[in-house]
């Protein structure tokens, strides 16, 4: 997977195929996997969302498709340029380049809205088995890491070493692309813990949790961005158990399941961003039995929380898990939720002990 | 201002005063500045939002105030504990501690909602001339920095040096508190440029903009968090000119004016977070004259953009600026806006030249 960048070669191959087709008097086409809902599959065996086998052909000599075909070729040409220049931008930057350069020769604006160009970028990713990052298109980034791990970031003609154990209160900001021109070395940790909220990450970082536990401490700062999801996958590939710690509510579960199973939007790169091995350590409704004080610190579950819990109970992979069914049913019954922050109730450092105990006792949900 | 931490002494002073009052048979009170709208003033001379002189007394033997008084004392006691322990949390963590410990002795929950505790924290900040950070309460953090600047972060019993010129693609993540146990050394830069969008920051960082220009390159990643605003103020205090670069729309202007003049929410620490010296380099509507290609790359202004432009035209400090009046009137007439990203239209590195030229030619708005 996306180590190294063969994007240039693949993009040139696409161009050559089109030229050959035209020269041979054939109708140029290219084939991509369908990304409609019906072709997005939860793979029971591997445990993540991926694309099925349904294909779609983009056909130049087809009135309904020729604009789309031409737009895709324009995107491919721009990305080829970015890769050759060794410069990165975003899908917004790409959109403006397309608007700019096509506007020069053609009267009509070929792209009016970014919503038009985004799906075509995915077409290209899928057709050529490339990721957006290999096309030099950065995604939004978010997320921070601390722990015994070094980063070798080859960036701007420099080879920079960043020691993630020497980032103080800040942590290392996880970039959009954690595959190309970047290496992870000297990993010395027993596990990685992913903490939903930055506030709790800061709490744990201040306590030196990752030092004492020899862990990699990550926060996605809410829903995990693409780069953070990919990084978690890579840490799992490097042999680390992955534990996830979120609020016990709809949003927290969503964050967990996205890390674990991937998402519909990224089903075309499911394998690269999903971490089915991840385990959920809390906060759980069953913590109410073990930690009596939490009963005073519940919050009212919102309608969204309750609706989401009910939806989750209908999922096949949830139905198989007695623990998750118990969790969700309990929330629905109590109409209460629990926040990570509540673990600071008795003392600020309580959250450290909570996580340690959960991991030591292997008390986590699948 | 908030270098060093005299919070412990001030909190103890507050407690001692209350005890003395009670012993002397007096009604314990304390005085804070009113934070209602009518006491928030835009100071024409200094150029930032601050509190006026209207005072409010919190009175223990007053039925309407005694609960609030007691709550404030409980907050003071908790913060005193945090400062003594040398541990930090958030206002959410504090809320849960209050909910936890008061619940032990008292049947009724003394805080049901965080909305109750937040204004009392501000009461305390204002009454004692302390910042939330000095009370060991972290705020949300956001924002990233690169440039020739080193950070000495005394954190978790270690003194860590972070070189902001060696952070690769990531940059140094700006923390919530940039005053306590943190030093800024070896600043070698001619100016600081604050770029609204992380995507553009990444673009400029990749080009080595800050190296070539000897600048400090900051992105608040949208609206500037408290820590980033404070950091910008500190860089101005260290003698750097501050330039701000945002979209030409309502949100971009709001980001600029918040950095420059502070905000209503933080009027009680206006002096610490506002940077009236900041200048706006763009994107401007007048860029449409200088850079012809931008005319193809405008977006439709939203109703919010237009309404905001009209509002701004009514502000005294805008009325005084011919340049801003021209800007805003032009947007209202054209009903168009411009994004930073559009500057990538002709080539990805165009944005570098744009900023350089603006600064060289001193083409910025007040």
Max intra-chain CA distance, chain A? 76
Residue A259 and residue A243 in contact, taking contact as beta carbons nearer than 8 Å: no
Domain membership flag for residue B157? yes
Say whether B202 and A88 touch across the interface (CB within 8 A).
yes
Considering the domain architecture, whether residues A175 and A314 belong to the same structural domain is answered as yes
Say whether A198 and B170 touch across the interface (CB within 8 A).
no
Domain membership flag for residue B1? no
Cβ contacts below 8 Å, chain A against chain B, sum to 169
Considering the domain architecture, whether residues B68 and B120 belong to the same structural domain is answered as yes
Q: Which residues in chain A are contacts of B149 at CB distance < 8 A?
A: none
Distances (CA, A) of B92 to A249, B37, B121, B317: 17, 25, 11, 37
Closest partner residue to A173 among B101, B109, B173, by Cβ? B173
CA B139/CA B144 separation, integer angstroms = 16
Is the overall model pTM greater than 0.80, yes or no?
A: yes
**Token pair of A303 as six digits:** 């309608």
Closest CA to A272 of A232, A226, A233, A227: A233
**Token pair of B39 as six digits:** 């006491």
| Residue given tokens 């154990």 in the structure block | A165
Residue-wise pLDDT tens digits, B145-200: 999 999 999 998 899 999 999 999 999 999 999 999 999 999 999 999 999 999 99
Closest CA to B192 of B359, B326, B353: B359
Q: How far is B342 from chain A (nearest CA, A)?
A: 6
Residue A200 and residue A341 in contact, taking contact as beta carbons nearer than 8 Å: yes
Peptide bond into B283 cis (omega under 30): yes
Residue B216: strand pairing partners: B192
Considering the domain architecture, whether residues B85 and B102 belong to the same structural domain is answered as yes
User: Is B3 a residue whose pLDDT tops 50?
Assistant: no
Domain boundary among A138, A172, A193: A138
Q: What is the pLDDT of residue A3?
A: 41
Q: Which residues in chain A are contacts of B160 at CB distance < 8 A?
A: 166-168
Q: How far is A201 from chain B (nearest CA, A)?
A: 10
Please give the backbone phi and psi of residue B326, each rounded to the nearest 5 degrees, phi first. Answer: -60, -45
CA A278/CA A366 separation, integer angstroms = 8
Q: How far is A126 from chain B (nearest CA, A)?
A: 24
pLDDT average, residue stretch B71-82: 94
% of chain A exceeding 90 in pLDDT: 83
Angle CA B264–B269–B273, to nearest 5: 85
Count of CB atoms within 10 A of residue A88's CB? 23
Q: How far is A85 from chain B (nearest CA, A)?
A: 10
Residue A155: strand pairing partners: A158
pLDDT band (50, 70, 90) for residue B70: confident
CA B191/CA B194 separation, integer angstroms = 10
CA B132/CA B123 separation, integer angstroms = 11
Considering the domain architecture, whether residues A119 and A212 belong to the same structural domain is answered as no
Q: Which residues in chain B are contacts of A87 at CB distance < 8 A?
A: 206-207, 348-349
Residue of A nearest to B109 (CA): A296
Considering the domain architecture, whether residues A184 and A122 belong to the same structural domain is answered as no
Considering the domain architecture, whether residues A88 and A155 belong to the same structural domain is answered as no
Say whether B198 and A341 touch across the interface (CB within 8 A).
no
Range B156-163, long-range pairs (CB < 8 A, 24+ positions): B156/A205, B156/A206, B156/A207, B156/A208, B156/A211, B158/A168, B160/A166, B160/A167, B160/A168, B162/A166, B162/A167, B162/A168, B162/A170
What one-character-per-residue DSSP string does B139-189 give?
PP---EEESS-EEEEEETTEEEEEETTS-TTT-EEP-S-SSTTEEEE----
What one-character-per-residue DSSP string does B242-264 give?
EEEE--BSHHHHHHHHHHHH--S
Tell me the three state secondary structure of residue A172.
Answer: strand
CA B142/CA B135 separation, integer angstroms = 20
Please give the backbone phi and psi of residue B144, each rounded to the nearest 5 degrees, phi first. Answer: -140, 150
Q: What is the pLDDT of residue A270?
A: 94
Closest partner residue to B341 among A92, A168, A171, by Cβ? A92
Considering the domain architecture, whether residues B156 and B113 belong to the same structural domain is answered as no
Domain membership flag for residue B122? yes
Count Cα neighbours of A188 within 13 Å in the Cβ-side half-sphere.
Answer: 9
pLDDT average, residue stretch B303-327: 92
Closest CA to B164 of B200, B116, B218, B127: B218
Q: What is the mean pLDDT of chain B?
A: 93
ipTM: 0.94
**Token pair of A164 as six digits:** 């993630």
Closest partner residue to B173 among A138, A171, A349, by Cβ? A171
Q: What is the pLDDT of residue A213?
A: 98
CA A143/CA A166 separation, integer angstroms = 17
Q: How far is A188 from chain B (nearest CA, A)?
A: 20
Domain containing B297 equals 144-360
**Token pair of B149 as six digits:** 């600047």
Q: Which residues in chain A are contacts of B168 at CB distance < 8 A?
A: 151, 153, 155, 158, 160, 162
Say whether A206 and B172 touch across the interface (CB within 8 A).
no
Max intra-chain CA distance, chain B? 77
Q: Which residues in chain B are contacts of A167 at CB distance < 8 A?
A: 160, 162, 173
Q: What is the pLDDT of residue B247?
A: 97
Q: What is the pLDDT of residue B108?
A: 58
Q: What is the pLDDT of residue A19?
A: 93
Tell me the three state secondary structure of residue A158.
Answer: strand
Residue B88 and residue B82 in contact, taking contact as beta carbons nearer than 8 Å: yes
Residue of A nearest to B208 (CA): A156
Q: How far is A278 from chain B (nearest CA, A)?
A: 26
Q: Which residues in chain A are contacts of B169 at CB distance < 8 A?
A: 153, 155, 175, 177, 182
Pairing of strands A158-163, B242-245: unpaired
Q: Which residues in chain B are contacts of A211 at CB distance < 8 A?
A: 156
pLDDT band (50, 70, 90) for residue B4: very low
Segments of chain A scoring below 70 in pLDDT: 1-5, 102-110, 112
Considering the domain architecture, whether residues B338 and B298 belong to the same structural domain is answered as yes
Say whether B208 and A156 touch across the interface (CB within 8 A).
yes
**Token pair of B248 as six digits:** 């030409």
Domain membership flag for residue A2? no
Domain boundary among A110, A138, A166: A138
Residue B164 and residue B172 in contact, taking contact as beta carbons nearer than 8 Å: yes
Closest partner residue to B93 among A155, A174, A344, by Cβ? A344
Q: What is the pLDDT of residue A2?
A: 44
Say whether A202 and B140 touch across the interface (CB within 8 A).
no
pLDDT band (50, 70, 90) for residue B60: confident
Domain membership flag for residue B219? yes
Closest CA to A5 of A178, A196, A134, A168: A134
Closest CA to A159 of A134, A181, A184: A181
Say whether A202 and B293 touch across the interface (CB within 8 A).
no
Q: What is the pLDDT of residue B61?
A: 81
Considering the domain architecture, whether residues B98 and B204 belong to the same structural domain is answered as no
Spatial CB neighbours of B282, under 8 Å, sequence gap ≥ 6:
B245, B248, B354, B358, B364
Residue of A nearest to B111 (CA): A297
Catalytic residue among A96, A191, A254, A315: A96
Considering the domain architecture, whether residues B110 and B216 belong to the same structural domain is answered as no
Say whether B96 and A344 touch across the interface (CB within 8 A).
yes
pLDDT average, residue stretch B51-71: 87
Say whether B177 and A199 touch across the interface (CB within 8 A).
no
Per the structure, how many domains does chain B have? 2
Residue of B nearest to A175 (CA): B170
CA A71/CA A50 separation, integer angstroms = 26
Residue of A nearest to B345 (CA): A97
Pairing of strands A144-146, A215-219: antiparallel
Q: Which residues in chain A are contacts of B176 at CB distance < 8 A?
A: 202
CATH of the domain at B66: 1.10.10.10
Considering the domain architecture, whether residues B119 and B168 belong to the same structural domain is answered as no
Say whether B168 and A176 touch across the interface (CB within 8 A).
no
% of chain B exceeding 90 in pLDDT: 83
Considering the domain architecture, whether residues B76 and B191 belong to the same structural domain is answered as no
Q: What is the pLDDT of residue A107?
A: 53
Count of CB atoms within 10 A of residue A230's CB? 27
Say whether A140 and B198 touch across the interface (CB within 8 A).
yes
CATH of the domain at A336: 3.40.1360.10
Residue-wise pLDDT tens digits, A78-89: 999 999 999 999
Q: Which residues of B are catalytic?
A: 96
What is the separation of C-alpha B29 from the centre of its chain, rounded to a whole number of angstroms?
31
Residue A138: strand pairing partners: A90
CA B170/CA B167 separation, integer angstroms = 6
pLDDT average, residue stretch B274-298: 96
Residue A248 and residue A337 in contact, taking contact as beta carbons nearer than 8 Å: yes
Domain membership flag for residue B314? yes
Closest partner residue to A100 among B173, B211, B296, by Cβ? B296
Spatial CB neighbours of B258, under 8 Å, sequence gap ≥ 6:
B223, B224, B229
Interface mutation vs chain A, best among B83, B90, B93, most A CBs within 10 Å? B93
Q: How far is B207 from chain A (nearest CA, A)?
A: 7
Q: How far is A275 from chain B (nearest CA, A)?
A: 23
CA A109/CA A100 separation, integer angstroms = 9
Please give the backbone phi and psi of residue B306, each rounded to the nearest 5 degrees, phi first. Answer: -70, -40
| Residue given tokens 């003392």 in the structure block | A347
Say whether A345 and B97 touch across the interface (CB within 8 A).
yes
Say whether A92 and B206 touch across the interface (CB within 8 A).
no
Count of CB atoms within 10 A of residue B288's CB? 19
User: A273-300 burial, b if ≥16 CB within 10 A, otherwise e?
Assistant: bbbbebbbbbbbbbbbeebebbeebbbe
Domain membership flag for residue A172? yes
Domain boundary among B83, B108, B138: B138
Domain membership flag for residue B366? no
CA B207/CA A202 separation, integer angstroms = 31
Spatial CB neighbours of A223, under 8 Å, sequence gap ≥ 6:
A251, A254, A255, A258
Say whether A203 and B151 touch across the interface (CB within 8 A).
no
């Amino acid at each position: 997977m996306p180590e190294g960048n063969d994007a240039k070669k693949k993009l040139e191959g696409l161009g050559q195929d089109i030229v050959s087709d035209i020269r041979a008097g054939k109708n140029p086409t290219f084939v991509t996997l369908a990304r409609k809902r019906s072709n997005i599959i939860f793979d029971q065996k591997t445990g993540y969302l991926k694309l099925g086998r349904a294909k779609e052909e983009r056909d130049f000599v087809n009135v309904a498709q020729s604009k789309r075909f031409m737009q895709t070729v324009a995107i491919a040409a721009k990305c080829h340029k970015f890769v050759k220049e060794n410069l990165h931008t975003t899908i917004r930057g790409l959109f403006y380049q397309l608007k700019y350069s096509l506007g020069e020769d053609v009267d009509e604006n070929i792209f009016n809205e970014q919503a038009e160009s985004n799906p075509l970028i995915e077409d290209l990713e899928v057709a050529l088995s490339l990721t957006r990052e290999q096309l030099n298109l950065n995604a939004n980034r978010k997320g921070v890491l601390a722990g015994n791990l070094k980063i070798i970031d080859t960036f701007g003609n420099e080879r920079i070493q960043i020691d993630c154990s020497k980032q103080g209160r800040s942590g290392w900001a996880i970039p959009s692309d954690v595959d190309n021109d970047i290496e992870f070395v000297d990993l010395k940790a027993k596990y990685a813990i992913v903490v939903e909220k930055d506030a709790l990450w800061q709490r744990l970082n201040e306590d030196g949790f990752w030092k004492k536990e020899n862990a990699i401490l990550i926060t996605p700062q809410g829903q995990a961005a693409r780069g953070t999801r990919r990084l978690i996958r890579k840490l799992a590939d490097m042999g680390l158990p992955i534990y996830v710690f979120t609020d016990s509510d709809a949003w927290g579960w969503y964050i967990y399941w996205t890390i674990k199973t991937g998402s519909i939007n990224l089903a075309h790169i499911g394998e690269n961003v999903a971490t089915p091995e991840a385990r959920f350590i809390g906060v759980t409704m069953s913590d109410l039995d073990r930690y009596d004080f939490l009963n005073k610190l519940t919050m009212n579950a919102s309608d969204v929380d309750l609706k989401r819990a009910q939806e989750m109970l209908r999922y096949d992979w949830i139905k198989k898990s007695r623990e998750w069914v118990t969790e969700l049913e309990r929330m629905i019954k109590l109409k209460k939720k629990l926040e990570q922050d509540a673990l600071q109730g008795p003392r600020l450092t309580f959250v450290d002990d909570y996580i340690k105990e959960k991991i030591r006792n292997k008390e986590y949900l699948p």
